[in-house]
Amino acid sequence: MSLVSVALVVALLFCLAYGVIIYNALVRLKHGIGKAWSNIDVLLKQRHDELPKLVETCKQYMQHERSTLEQVISARNAVSSAREKHDVGALGKAESGLRAGLGQLFALAENYPELKANESFQFLQQRISGLENGIADRRELYNEAVNLNNVRIEQFPDVLLARHFGFKAAELLQFSEAEKADVNIKQLFG
């Protein structure tokens, strides 16, 4: 074998090994997105199970706030539907509606001292608030995994393998601008 042939074989083996490394990194990123989504999904399911208990507890005290309670249940159902369909865009919108409804519900609870003193309500409020914080943390991790994936599949030479093997960009989980806006406390208690 000539020196040129050996160099060609070495170069080919190097390119093949580099391609395998890139492919494996892309697979790892894709599965990282799935893992991050699963972590969010677990918390969404837990919150989904807790919300009817909260609404039932509130119904006993808040007879005149039926529209707020119905808003929370409607938003809960929208989140569940988006979650089951893995529709990240719809989930972001539904989450915004649910968070707004819960914020209004907790603000209205201030007008019902007996409800605020109820142990079940206090437990559920703390539990749901904890789940909300967990969802926010997991959302950040999910979006980071999506960002790493999306950047990597657009970089050269990764883009060549990503296109060839059908790696796709993933969608960030974003909430509406209304959720990011400052809360008008006077409006909530007015």
CATH code of residue 57: 1.20.1440.20
Give tens-digit pLDDT for 14-29.
Answer: 999 999 999 999 999 9
The per-residue pLDDT for 108 is: 85
Helix, strand and coil content of the chain, in percent to the nearest 5, comes to 80, 0, 20
Q: State which residues form the domain around 175.
A: 3-189
Reduced to 3 states (helix: H, G, I; strand: E, B; else coil), residue 4 is: helix
Q: Which amino acid is at 175?
A: F
User: Taking residues 155-182, what's their average pLDDT?
Assistant: 81
Residue 156, token pair as written in the block: 């050269």
Q: Is 12 exposed, middle or buried (0-12, 13-18, 19+ CB in 10 A)?
A: exposed
| pTM listed for this prediction | 0.77
Total number of domains constituting the chain = 1
Q: CA 35 to CA 37: how far, in whole Å?
A: 5
Q: CA 112 to CA 115: how far, in whole Å?
A: 5
Tell me if 118 sits within 8 A of 56, measured CB to CB.
Answer: no
Q: Which amino acid is at 110?
A: E
Confidence of residue 60 (pLDDT cuts 50, 70, 90): confident
Mean pLDDT of the chain: 87
The per-residue pLDDT for 173 is: 87
